[in-house]
Structure 1
């Protein structure tokens, strides 16, 4: 049988409470008693029960993670970054899919409280006032990743979404494209849709192409929805020579639709994605895209949460990480003398 705390107390000739204090507040125990307890623990090879320790210390070394949908490939590297950072810092992760459902999300927060998680990471969704109130009521240290809040003082890690959208469209314009459309997340109800659309519009406006800012169709998050949105976009605007999409999965949906119509990418239409998920360099043609450092963002979110848990504050409240334009095969220049086909 595994040794218990009673066995340790019996061998050391002290009370159970003394053994507990040696493990959780050793400075409160006389040196002679502390030495006997530590020797008994070593001889018996006693391993404290993690649940019991959590009840005493009010810590579980567990972090709760709230994401909209783990099926989205964007989250694989984000979670991997969180997991690696958590391992280094001595935490485990408890990951929950919210489906962006308010009732479901708040129920997860209540469950996190019962399980005594030490803090939470909230990803890729609006921080509604009801969420913030629940976080405050349950006294959770919290960090946002792939989103931020100007209404509430909660630490966050994300890229500049508007600038990233601008850089994507500027790349197309620099390649000579003037007839440019977009497949976007909804402007109402999504975190990334509005700023990426604003970047699209700003790039068009600065280059005298604002009339194309209405060449936009919307999809929630999946390939199939982007395929249907592409059909609508090209039916309305068959003259488009380039499309900026709000995600790599959207880009794949657009390319699939164009292939089914006998339209080559990038020969006739250039397509640029967003995120640089793993599939971006595997599909044919390989995707030109805006890369978010998603692994780094997940890693930083856990580090920032650990800082908040251990010190009560963070040095940088809203952390902005750099994005990068990755040019591959799905875009081409149409300027005279610069064709790549």
Structure 2
């Protein structure tokens, strides 16, 4: 049985076990690049043996950084933000920071509460998904003078530094792809846009692109679904119940698009010959469904990595400057979209 230490181990005990000074132990944690690798290895062995944990709260009381960054996301229930969260976490870890994660369930009032809790934990900075936040959240960030970042979305006019993609462009690209294939009768399935500027920006751009071709989308060609494959499948079944069905479905994200694909297959429709389907995101799994999903790729890993790199530089800089980074989108054509005039069995470029 392990022989547990009585009481909490302090930095002096670690230094004694590693046969170094307490200042060397401190330097190993705060500036590891300044410590000899062999010495770091001895200290790390002592830390593991004694179960030493740094007192971050004591550090922040003395004006030092906590070494933590808070990230507030709309949801962690689905894979939509998983890739960007992982990349962001890996990136800030490289700079010596740890991630504190919270979700608000697409409720901007709850987002404010989550930001308050993270600030109570004395995080060194807070990252938020999207560009839409309550006045209370923005005011709190300003009052506390805390470094803040908007991730996933990009806009030249963003109030805070941002790293992300232009969701209006994503919606426009999806609509233009279907239009280029000859589709004019297009159904739309999007999540609720309240508190979700990603969905609202994509949807408004889709409607503008269609409107520029004098195409209007009647209400019976529109449906709403949350980020759920099963619920998106049912929403699609309801939309397709009215005949004739549209020639194409433009979905607000890949989760909804996958649900739409399963609904079409349940109805015996051939995709893309009977119905084309396009999503937005290119999440993991989108290329693995059959047929592979045509989508607008949002480079989640790139966004997360760049956001982590730029934000940690911003936090640690003596003279931080605002920044806005727009990541490139790409239309990924796979098997779920085809030309409206294409006969069944014709070859397609993938």
TM-score tier, shorter chain, comes to 0.7 to 0.9
Match for residue 106 of structure 1 among 101, 112, 116: 112
- The 5 A counterparts of 1:52-67 are 52-67=58-73
Change (3 A) 1:70 1:140: same
Tell me, yes or no, if the aligned pair for 2:154 and 2:326 is still in contact at 8 Å.
no
Change (3 A) 1:313 1:249: same
Structure 1 residues 276-285 or 159-168, which shifts more?
Answer: 159-168
- Relative to the length of structure 1, the TM-score reads 0.81
Alpha-carbon separation, structure 2, partners of 1:282 and 1:88: 31
Tell me the secondary structure at the aligned position of residue 197 of structure 1.
helix
- The 5 A counterparts of 1:238-249 are 238-249=244-255
1:212 corresponds to: 217
1:173 corresponds to: 179
Change (3 A) 1:122 1:178: same
Tell me the secondary structure at the aligned position of residue 239 of structure 2.
helix
Deviations 1:229-264 (A, max 9, x none): 213322346331111101111011111111221112
Counterpart check, 1:263 vs 2:258: no
Alpha-carbon separation, structure 1, partners of 2:15 and 2:340: 78
Deviation at 1:184, TM superposition (A): 1.4
Change (3 A) 1:192 1:107: closer
Tell me the secondary structure at the aligned position of residue 62 of structure 2.
helix
Deviations 1:138-171 (A, max 9, x none): 3321101123678862111221111211111211
Alpha-carbon separation, structure 2, partners of 1:186 and 1:291: 21
1:199 corresponds to: 205
1:77 corresponds to: 83
Deviation at 1:61, TM superposition (A): 0.9
Deviation at 1:307, TM superposition (A): 2.7
1:340 corresponds to: 347
Tell me the secondary structure at the aligned position of residue 285 of structure 2.
helix
Match for residue 313 of structure 1 among 312, 317, 320: 320
Deviation at 1:132, TM superposition (A): 0.9
Alpha-carbon separation, structure 1, partners of 2:307 and 2:122: 19
Structure 1 residues 134-143 or 45-54, which shifts more?
Answer: 45-54
Alpha-carbon separation, structure 1, partners of 2:339 and 2:274: 11
Counterpart check, 1:122 vs 2:132: no
Alpha-carbon separation, structure 2, partners of 1:163 and 1:135: 29
Alpha-carbon separation, structure 2, partners of 1:48 and 1:255: 50
Please list every run of 5 or more consecutive structure 1 residues that lacks an aligned counterpart in the other structure.
Answer: 25-40
Deviation at 1:288, TM superposition (A): 0.5
Tell me, yes or no, if the aligned pair for 2:161 and 2:322 is still in contact at 8 Å.
no
Alpha-carbon separation, structure 1, partners of 2:120 and 2:194: 34
Change (3 A) 1:125 1:7: closer
1:224 corresponds to: 230
Counterpart check, 1:94 vs 2:124: no
Change (3 A) 1:193 1:222: same
Alpha-carbon separation, structure 2, partners of 1:71 and 1:226: 15
Alpha-carbon separation, structure 1, partners of 2:243 and 2:320: 51
Tell me, yes or no, if the aligned pair for 1:200 and 1:213 is still in contact at 8 Å.
no
Please tell me whether Structure 1 or Structure 2 has the larger radius of gyration of its CA atoms. Answer: 1
Change (3 A) 1:105 1:7: closer
2:298 corresponds to: 292
Alpha-carbon separation, structure 2, partners of 1:149 and 1:169: 20
Deviations 1:297-329 (A, max 9, x none): 11122222213212353352x322111000111
Tell me the secondary structure at the aligned position of residue 158 of structure 1.
strand
Change (3 A) 1:238 1:54: same
